[in-house]
């Protein structure tokens, strides 16, 4: 396992007590994804060092990527299966389910909207029915809030959202909203133990090389093309959370959360333009702003500013120290360099 990721996972285990996972059966869907691979890594290290003896069933659409492959080689009690959750499948009998599967990258969920809908709705319903006694963690998104009135920023969990229906990227937010509604029905009618985590922009070491989010694209352009070309003016503001901070929150919520819905994110606000400037400076390259906005369907359609109110999760976890953005960005750039070389 990469030394940086291993260090992050060990820090997560110092922050969150997961002894309740002892001898339990854990399912992680979307295990090849950024969040899934860190959750699988954390439980694998916990098995090895804390003697938890839990069974980790990692599921992904494609063959194991390097991080998951290294876990399979290095640790016991972790298994991997290639399963397309947009089609009928058989997964049942788990104690904890981290349903992280699905396309979160706009380029991908716009191109494959049928799978996006199926994974967020049909697969969610199947998993809830097949393991009715499990603690079920549904990975939602800050995108469900849509365009947030400035007076409500940072937005709390009780804001019902202001999501457009007919933009190309709306299929993602709306299917997440329906997935949440499905979870609420099961919690209300069947008393299923469900936690919803609304996750904002996450970054850090381990970002898959094929990731198409803006930070990944900028870093790869800086390292490979030696120049960052923005696709619009870069005025949108993102709030980034470091991967170890985000995963620590999610695992805490699974084992100790007292409520149903949680915002999960970081505290570092930065515009796309300023992000490009920082990466360009670190990599000693230039950046350019286009005279015309890109024709790509996902460009210029996201909310101008999204910032989550994290009061609930911070109060439950107690003192919470966030990764400084400058350090997290440097770690992410160094990780990407290793993948290129």
Residue 260 resides in a domain: yes
For 147-203, write each residue's pLDDT tens digit.
Answer: 899 999 999 999 999 888 887 778 889 999 999 999 999 999 999 999 999 999 999
Residue 42 resides in a domain: yes
Q: Which residue has the higher pLDDT, 167 or 219?
A: 219
Structure tokens at 257: 């959360």
Asked whether the predicted pLDDT for residue 326 surpasses 80, the reply is: yes
Which residue is associated with the tokens 């990731």?
211
Residues 29/100, Cβ–Cβ less than 8 Å: yes
Residue 309 resides in a domain: yes
> Which residue segment(s) compose the domain that 43 sits in?
3-208+240-267+304-324
Q: Which residues pair with 136 in a beta bridge?
A: 97, 194
Residue 177 resides in a domain: yes
304: confidence class by pLDDT, cuts 50, 70, 90:
low
Instruction: Dump the DSSP string for 92-160.
Output: ---SEEEE--S--SHHHHHHTHHHHHIIIIIIHHHHHHH-TTSEEEEEEEGGGGBS--GGGPSBPTT--
Q: Which residue has the higher pLDDT, 238 or 31?
A: 31
pLDDT for position 213: 81
What is the chain's mean pLDDT, rounded?
91
For 241-277, write each residue's pLDDT tens digit.
Answer: 999 999 999 999 999 999 999 999 999 899 999 999 9
Residue 187 resides in a domain: yes
pLDDT for position 338: 86
Residue 219 resides in a domain: no
pLDDT for position 156: 97
Burial of 213 (0-12, 13-18, 19+ CB in 10 A): middle
Asked whether the predicted pLDDT for residue 300 surpasses 70, the reply is: no
Burial of 84 (0-12, 13-18, 19+ CB in 10 A): middle
pLDDT for position 109: 59
Instruction: Compute CA distances 149 → 162, 167, 170, 292, 318, whole Å.
Output: 9, 19, 18, 27, 29
| Residue 199 belongs to domain with CATH number | 3.40.50.720
Asked whether the predicted pLDDT for residue 237 surpasses 80, the reply is: yes
Residue 252 resides in a domain: yes
For 95-114, write each residue's pLDDT tens digit.
Answer: 999 999 987 665 665 677 88
66: confidence class by pLDDT, cuts 50, 70, 90:
very high
Question: What average pLDDT does this structure show over 266-289?
Answer: 95
CA distance linking residue 129 with residue 124, whole number of Å: 9
* Phi–psi pair at 192, nearest 5 degrees: -70, 140
pLDDT for position 309: 96
pLDDT for position 19: 95
The overall pTM is greater than 0.85 = yes
11-20, 123-132, 205-214, 308-317: which range is least confident on average? Answer: 205-214
Give the start-end residues of each E strand in the chain: 25-29, 55-60, 78-82, 96-99, 135-141, 193-199, 202-203, 227-229, 237-242, 261-264, 268-271, 286-288
pLDDT for position 113: 81
Residue 273 resides in a domain: no
Question: What average pLDDT does this structure show over 281-297?
Answer: 80
Asked whether the predicted pLDDT for residue 299 surpasses 50, the reply is: no
**Nearest of 94, 123, 51 to residue 254 by alpha carbon:** 94
Task: Please tell me whether residue 79 adopts helix, strand or coil conformation.
Answer: strand
**Nearest of 142, 139, 175 to residue 27 by alpha carbon:** 139
pLDDT for position 165: 83
298: confidence class by pLDDT, cuts 50, 70, 90:
very low
- Name the domain count of the chain: 1
């Amino acid at each position: 396992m990469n030394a940086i990721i291993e260090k992050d996972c060990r820090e997560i285990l110092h922050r969150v007590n997961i002894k309740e996972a002892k001898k339990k059966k854990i399912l992680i869907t979307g295990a090849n994804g950024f969040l899934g691979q860190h959750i699988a890594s954390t439980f694998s290290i916990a098995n090895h060092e804390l003697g938890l003896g839990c069974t980790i069933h990692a599921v992904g659409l494609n063959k194991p990527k390097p991080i998951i492959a290294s876990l399979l080689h290095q640790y016991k009690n972790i298994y991997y299966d290639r399963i397309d959750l947009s089609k009928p499948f058989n997964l049942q009998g788990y104690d904890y389910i981290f349903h992280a599967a699905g396309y979160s990258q706009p380029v991908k969920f716009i191109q494959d909207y049928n799978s996006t809908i199926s994974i967020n709705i049909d697969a969610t319903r199947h998993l809830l029915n097949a393991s009715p006694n499990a603690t079920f963690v549904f990975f939602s998104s800050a995108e469900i809030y849509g365009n947030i009135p400035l007076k409500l920023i940072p937005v709390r969990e009780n804001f019902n959202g202001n999501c457009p229906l007919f933009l190309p990227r709306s299929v993602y937010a709306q299917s997440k909203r329906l997935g949440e509604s499905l979870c609420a029905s099961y919690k209300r009618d069947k008393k299923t133990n469900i936690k919803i985590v609304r996750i904002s922009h996450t970054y850090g070491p381990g970002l898959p090389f094929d990731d198409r989010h803006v930070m990944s694209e900028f870093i790869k352009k800086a390292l490979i093309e030696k120049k960052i070309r923005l696709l619009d003016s870069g005025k949108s503001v993102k709030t980034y959370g470091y991967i170890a901070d985000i995963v620590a929150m999610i695992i805490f919520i699974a084992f100790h959360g007292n409520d149903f819905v949680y915002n999960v994110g970081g505290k570092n606000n930065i515009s796309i333009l300023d992000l490009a400037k920082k990466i360009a400076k670190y990599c000693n390259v230039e950046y350019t702003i286009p005279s015309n906005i890109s024709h790509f369907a996902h460009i210029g359609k996201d909310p101008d500013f999204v910032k989550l109110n994290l009061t609930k999760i911070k109060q439950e976890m107690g003192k919470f120290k966030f990764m400084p953005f400058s350090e997290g960005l440097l770690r992410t750039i160094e990780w990407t360099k290793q993948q290129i070389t």
